[in-house]
């Protein structure tokens, strides 16, 4: 068995805290670029005063994990992560939803944030990486929503169908690097026809997926597009004392392409 596969099996099998510690230590030791990024993140985190809560955006005031790792921690802490969706998030929070299913929940920024903002909402969050899923559990507990955020592992069509079985007004948030082409099939999962869906599409990884999603959901949903853009200095939240390179570093989401999201809302009530 290749060494990399053996190591992956090891860290995935360990309890959450150990799993994350080993995962982070291995990346730090083996990846010079990551070591440099980590040092930069730590410097900016210090300049910000080591804050422990989100500074702006829909989840302003939510506690966050007090570490400048993994990647995307700083833009989430600032509240500018996927800021193109800030208005969408507020719209979702205003809807009468009974469950949110998040596929690709990472450390729980959205899963925990939605539960934190909406005390009636139950969240099922799928995250395939055990080290990152551990952070989600930690973040949920930190914000007092551990009882309403269920952290699950890898998602597949059968598990998504199971998660959507029962709720009358579900929300599906999907960010899974092209696997949305497999999961978001209303012909195979009829409950998707009544679900509000926010999906990040990944045509560079799965060519044509955006068009296929439009075809599948056009008959049952209204579809709105939201496109990402590079950050500029004026995106920095008011009162944050960063300038120049540090300001841009703090907002960097480390993407290889600008994202495209679909907000899909059922036409029928």
- Residue range 31-266 forms a domain whose CATH class is alpha beta
Return the pLDDT at 1: 46
Residue-by-residue DSSP string for the chain = --HHHHHHHHHHHS-HHHHHHHHHHHHHHH-HHHHHHHHHHHHHHHHTT---B--SSTTTT-B--SSS-STTHHHHHHT-TTGGGHHHHHHHHHS--SEEEEES-TTSHHHHHHHHH-TT-EEEEE-S-HHHHHHHHHHHHHTT-TTTEEEE----HHHHHHHTSS-SSEEEEE--TTTHHHH--TTT-GGGGG-EEEEEE-TTTSTTHHHHHHHHHTTTEEEEEEE-----GGGSPTT----HHHHHHHH----SS--EEEEEEES--
User: What is the per-residue pLDDT across 103-120, written as a single tens digit (0 to 9) for each?
Assistant: 999 999 999 999 999 999
pLDDT tens readout for residues 7-45: 555 555 665 566 666 767 776 777 787 788 888 888 999
Q: Where does the pLDDT of residue 225 fall: very low under 50, low under 70, confident under 90, or very high at 90 and above?
A: very high
Share of the chain above pLDDT 70, in %: 89
Whole-model pTM: value is 0.91
173 has pLDDT over 70: yes
Domain ranges of the chain: 31-266
């Amino acid at each position: 068995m290749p060494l990399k596969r053996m190591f992956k099996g090891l860290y995935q099998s360990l309890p959450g805290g150990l799993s994350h510690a080993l995962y982070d230590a291995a990346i730090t030791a083996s990846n010079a670029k990551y070591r440099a990024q980590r040092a930069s993140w730590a410097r900016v985190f210090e300049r910000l005063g080591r804050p422990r809560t989100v500074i702006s955006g829909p989840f302003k005031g939510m506690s966050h994990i007090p570490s400048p790792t993994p990647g995307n921690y700083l833009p989430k802490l600032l509240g500018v992560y996927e800021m193109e969706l800030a208005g969408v998030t507020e719209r979702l929070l205003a809807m009468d939803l009974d469950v949110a299913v998040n596929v690709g929940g990472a450390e729980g920024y959205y899963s925990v944030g939605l539960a934190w903002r909406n005390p009636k909402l139950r969240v099922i969050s799928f995250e395939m990486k055990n080290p990152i899923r551990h952070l989600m559990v930690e973040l949920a507990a930190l914000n007092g929503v551990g009882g309403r955020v269920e952290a699950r592992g890898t998602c597949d069509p059968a598990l998504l169908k199971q998660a959507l079985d029962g709720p009358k007004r579900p929300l599906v948030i999907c960010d899974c690097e092209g696997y949305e082409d497999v999961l978001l099939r209303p012909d195979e999962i009829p409950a998707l026809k009544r679900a509000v869906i926010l999906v990040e599409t990944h045509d560079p990884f799965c060519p044509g997926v955006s068009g296929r999603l439009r075809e599948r959901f056009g008959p049952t949903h209204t579809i709105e597009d939201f496109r990402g853009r590079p950050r500029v200095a004026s995106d920095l939240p008011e009162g944050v004392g960063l300038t120049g390179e540090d300001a841009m570093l703090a907002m960097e989401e480390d993407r290889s392409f600008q994202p495209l999201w679909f907000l899909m809302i059922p036409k029928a009530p």
